[in-house]
């Protein structure tokens, strides 16, 4: 058999970590009914690249079963890998989930999308960073989709205040929260249910503590409420020991100030890497756990970034590739630092929360290195594009920003190669606006590093304003990294890369 009901359970190797834990929870708590497409189906799909007819037949049988979903839509399709929600790695936000599925054809496409995601670059980087060598086997959960009054997350021990429970929630569905149509609320409450007056909060805390007792660890629980409290997922909190801590700066430490780009703190030996070194070479020679010091590096150095305990750069941009990837990997990063004061082998401490790098017994800088900076001439075309961009940014309008960015890159393609100078002028303009100016403008009004970090860790926006900022950040990332299909040809066109 390739499919089984969720409540039937099974081993982690058969149904994956998420489904395994939900099958246990279903014995004691309200879990939306559904079924699991097992890793055996995934193995068959890998061989042929499509779902075999016998698997499709079983999926249809379970979907229409009167004991399960009765053939009713909408449903949600979720990943459940054999490495997911484990003791040391939650894989939160790394694998795919697809909601609002309303036809059987959409259901099958969603299953294959989850299967394909098991071998994505994001998954590869995460597993390498977490030291996971185990082969990924993917199962897929199909569950009834709840139409909730409230939905949110419960931490049975708050990461910043372990003696309290942290509850974040929004009225309506998770989709309304992400789209900015609902405001998020946050409550920090005692771990004593009977001391709580609100009936739902009391039930949440009681349920959370029971789940914590069931699994023997503090839990990060996704829940939803439609008159009934439903448990959607529960993971061990793998970062409970990583509280913010004061940096020990006793002794002869010198302070180098920069811009905080990714939170947390780390200590290690400095290793200098330049962008003229081949990525595969530096990934091979870079010592595991060293502090990466560089002027500027780009996305092709992924493997190198995953070996570093922290990143320090000369380039001052929170949307530079090192900063983006550091936030995704959960390691500290400080940008805009005079790295010339740091020597290969120096002992350094990186405080990503405050934007400070401490260097043990620093020496005089040999020289100040002036990085090449993209510049552009502000002609009439650039003035028009700039006004449109700033207007959209001021309104926190992701769709407006996307329109201007796509328009600028379209102009670049139209101008190149017949007018190379004008094409590069537009290219440099839009990149400076995205990478340098946007974070600086937003930083005047928001804690940009915290918001970007929360977006990278797939946390829920707290309010409609933050939801727009999440969307803007993800939009800019896709263009800066050339992931958007509309501009993937730009590096090849302009630089033959």
324-379 pLDDT per residue, tens = 889 888 899 999 998 878 887 889 999 999 999 999 865 554 445 555 566 789 99
Rounded CA separation 277/257 (Å): 27
Q: Say what the pLDDT of residue 298 is.
A: 79
Confidence class of residue 497 from pLDDT cuts 50, 70 and 90?
A: low
pLDDT per residue as tens digits for the range 35-61: 999 999 999 999 988 999 999 999 999
Q: Say what the pLDDT of residue 242 is.
A: 46
Q: Say what the pLDDT of residue 278 is.
A: 72
- Residue 326: exposure state from Cβ atoms within 10 A (0-12, 13-18, ≥19): buried
Rounded CA separation 170/224 (Å): 10
Rounded CA separation 189/171 (Å): 19
- What are 106's two structure tokens? 């959409």
Most confident residue range from 98-107, 127-136, 271-280, 479-488? 98-107
Structure pTM?
0.51
For residue 421, pLDDT over 60 is answered with yes
pLDDT per residue as tens digits for the range 291-303: 999 988 877 788 8
For the chain, give the percent of residues with pLDDT over 70: 87
pLDDT per residue as tens digits for the range 112-169: 999 988 877 766 766 766 676 678 899 999 999 999 999 988 999 987 788 999 898 8
- Residue 252: exposure state from Cβ atoms within 10 A (0-12, 13-18, ≥19): exposed
How distant, in Å, are the alpha carbons of 118, 119, 128, 132, 218 from that of 82? 11, 13, 16, 11, 21
Domains and CATH numbers, the chain: 3-144 (3.30.1490.20), 150-236 (3.30.470.20), 253-360 (3.50.30.10), 380-495 (no CATH)
CA angle centred on 448, ends 444 and 452, rounded to 5°? 160
Selected residue with higher pLDDT from 276 and 266: 266
Rounded CA separation 147/76 (Å): 12
Selected residue with higher pLDDT from 372 and 280: 280
- What are 309's two structure tokens? 């305990």
Q: Say what the pLDDT of residue 129 is.
A: 65
For residue 389, pLDDT over 80 is answered with yes
């Amino acid at each position: 058999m390739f499919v089984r009901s969720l409540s039937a359970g099974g081993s982690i190797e058969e149904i994956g970590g998420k489904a395994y834990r939900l099958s246990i929870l279903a014995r004691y708590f309200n879990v939306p009914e559904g079924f699991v497409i097992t890793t055996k189906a995934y193995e068959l799909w890998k061989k042929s690249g499509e779902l075999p007819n016998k698997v499709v037949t079983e999926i249809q049988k379970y979907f229409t079963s009167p004991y399960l979903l009765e053939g009713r839509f909408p449903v949600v399709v979720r990943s459940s890998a054999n490495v997911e929600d484990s003791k040391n790695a939650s894989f939160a936000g790394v694998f795919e989930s697809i909601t609002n599925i309303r036809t059987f054809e959409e259901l099958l496409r969603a299953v294959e999308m989850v299967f394909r995601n098991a071998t994505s670059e994001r998954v590869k980087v995460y597993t390498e960073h977490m030291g996971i060598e185990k082969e990924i086997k993917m199962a897929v959960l199909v569950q009834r989709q709840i139409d909730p009054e409230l939905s949110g997350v419960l931490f049975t021990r708050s990461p910043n205040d372990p003696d309290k429970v942290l509850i974040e929630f929004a009225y309506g569905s998770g989709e309304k929260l992400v789209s900015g149509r609902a405001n998020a609320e946050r409550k920090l409450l005692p771990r004593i249910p009977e001391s709580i007056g609100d009936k739902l909060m009391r039930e949440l805390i009681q349920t959370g503590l029971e789940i914590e007792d069931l699994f023997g660890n503090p839990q990060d629980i996704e829940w939803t409420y439609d008159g009934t409290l439903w448990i959607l997922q529960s993971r061990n909190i793998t970062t409970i020991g990583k509280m913010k801590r004061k940096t020990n700066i006793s002794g002869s430490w010198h302070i180098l100030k920069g811009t905080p780009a990714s939170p947390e703190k780390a200590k290690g030996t400095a290793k200098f890497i330049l962008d003229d070194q081949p990525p595969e070479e530096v990934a091979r020679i870079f010592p595991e756990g060293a502090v990466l010091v560089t002027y500027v590096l780009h996305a092709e150095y992924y493997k190198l970034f995953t070996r570093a305990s922290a990143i320090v750069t000369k380039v001052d941009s929170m949307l530079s590739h090192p900063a983006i990837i550091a936030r995704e990997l959960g390691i500290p990063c400080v940008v805009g630092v005079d790295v010339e004061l740091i020597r290969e082998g120096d002992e350094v401490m990186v405080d990503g929360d405050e934007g400070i790098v401490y260097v043990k017994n620093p020496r005089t800088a040999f020289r100040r290195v002036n990085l090449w900076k993209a510049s552009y001439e502000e002609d009439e075309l650039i003035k028009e594009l700039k006004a449109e961009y700033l207007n959209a940014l001021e309104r926190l309008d992701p769709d407006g920003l996307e329109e201007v960015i796509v328009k600028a890159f379209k102009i670049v393609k139209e101008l190149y190669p017949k007018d190379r100078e004008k094409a590069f002028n537009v290219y440099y303009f839009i990149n400076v606006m995205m990478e340098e100016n946007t974070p600086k403008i937003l930083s005047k009004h928001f804690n940009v590093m915290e918001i970007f970090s929360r977006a990278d860790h797939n946390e829920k926006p707290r309010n409609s304003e933050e939801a727009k900022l999440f969307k803007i950040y993800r939009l800019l990332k896709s263009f800066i990294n050339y992931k958007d299909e509309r501009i993937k040809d730009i590096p090849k066109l302009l630089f033959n890369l």
